[in-house]
Amino acid sequence: MNKIRNSLRSVLLMLLVSLSAAALSAACAQDKVSEFRVGRQPGLIYLPLYVIEDQNLLAKHCTRLGLPPTNLRLIDFGSASAISEMLLSGSVEAVSGAITPLLTMWDKTRGAQKVKAITSLSNSVLYLNANDPKLHSLRDFTDQDRIALSGVGFSMQSTLLQMAAGQVFGDGQEKRLDPLTVSMSHPEGLAALLSGNARLIAAHLTTSPFQNIELRDPRIHRILTSTDILGGYAPAALVFTTQRIYDANPRLLQAFAAAASDATAWITQNPKEAAELYLRKEPQKLSVDELRELLVNGDTKFSTTPENSLKIATFMAKLGRLHEAPTSWKDYFFPILNGDGS
């Protein structure tokens, strides 16, 4: 009997040692990523990503947390329509985009593919600009007019236009202007609006710096802003990933969120240097001083928490674009950030 007991103890001890070794091996395997690939679109609202890359902030915070230094690699994609495919295919570890692609993916994905945000990057005011002098409100648009925006039917610009249509024309009329919309990247929409051919594109709903460049042309005027629609800033840029990536790299994502916090603070404190960095990465028809002025007194607030995202989520649920409205912005964020958001 004693021999049997001793044998059982030996087997159990060996099993515990094996399990402990496996757990330690799994823990050591976590957060070992040589580079963190993030898909991005052009625009001033994504400036914190350039700061993280330029100042090696991700590697800095990885070292602080006892992780091997990991570099940020930014991968460009043309429009919001590529976000889902890029992330779910594993081409990148995370993507940056506005609130509506995040909410759509959060609502449609489950299990290991569950998509949530790591951090916000910026909140902004978006403009609907026009090159046709007869257009002064949404009521002035006819079937002959075309509105350029990024991602017809699912982008934040498209959603804001639907919200505005509901406010102007009444409940049930949210999609009234959808047939007038045309998908274009921000640079393409800028070029189309400035071409002066109202038959091609009469209006463009976009973000900084494209909307500001447009308004420098005396032929262009502003019809409305996202503040008119939301009563405040719009959640313009966030970084999101899958549950699988989060589970495998929790401390790495914590390091990324800390890097984003440093980057947003640095932009606020160093607007001229931030303007120079942005123009090196994305040359625009703006001088350093003009872009610095946008950063200081413009319509973009760099922050790691979102504003008015829940309003947009509630609207999307009302239109059936979400199965159920979230009750808090933290429902679609991984538990990394602290602070007041909306």
- At 307-324, the pLDDT tens digits run 999 999 999 999 999 998
Quick: pLDDT tens for 221-251.
Answer: 999 999 999 999 999 999 999 999 999 999 9
Mean pLDDT, the chain, integer: 89
pTM: 0.86
Q: Considering 167, 198, 230, which residue would you say is the last residue of a domain?
A: 230
166 inside domain? yes
Task: Note whether residue 263 is domain-resident.
Answer: yes
Q: What is the CATH number of the domain that holds 180?
A: 3.40.190.10
pLDDT 10s digits, 121-136: 999 999 999 999 999 9
Looking at residue 31, what is its pLDDT? Answer: 59
Instruction: Judge if 44 and 86 occupy the same domain.
Output: yes
Do 238 and 115 fall within a single domain? yes
Residue 239's contacts (CB-CB under 8 Å, 6 or more residues apart) are: 38, 49, 94, 95, 96, 117, 118, 119, 120, 121, 256, 260
Placement of tokens 């040692």 in the chain:
17
Would you tell me how many other CB atoms lie within 10 Å of the CB of residue 58? 27
CB burial class (10 A; 0-12, 13-18, 19+) of residue 197? exposed
- The answer to whether residue 10 is domain-embedded is no
Q: Mark which of 179, 205, 230 sits at the end of a domain.
A: 230
Clarify whether residues 97 and 134 are in a common domain.
no
Q: What parts of the chain have a pLDDT lower than 50?
A: 1-29
Assess whether 226 and 242 both reside in one domain. Answer: no
Total domain count for the chain? 2
**pLDDT score recorded for residue 4:** 43
- Phi, psi angles (nearest 5°) of residue 49: -65, -40
pLDDT reported for residue 337: 83
110 and 152 share one domain: no
Range of the structural domain that residue 98 is part of: 36-124+234-332
Position 78 scores a pLDDT of 59
Residues 54 and 193 grouped into a single domain:
no
- Residue 148, beta-bridge partner list: 182, 204
Residue 12 in any domain: the answer is: no
State the pairing for strand pair 300-302/234-242. Answer: unpaired
Do 186 and 319 fall into the same domain?
no
Does residue 284 sit in the same domain as residue 226?
no
- Cβ partners under 8 Å of residue 235, min gap 6: 98, 99, 120, 123, 156, 306, 307, 308, 309, 312
Whether 200 and 213 map to the same domain: the answer is: yes
Do 116 and 150 belong to one domain?
no
Residues 131 and 275 occupy one common structural domain: no
Question: Which of 186, 213, 230 is the C-terminal boundary of a domain?
Answer: 230
Same domain, 225 and 140: yes
Going by C-alpha positions, the residue among 128, 50, 76, 56 that lies closest to residue 302 is: 50
Is 147 within 8 Å of 205 (Cβ atoms)? yes
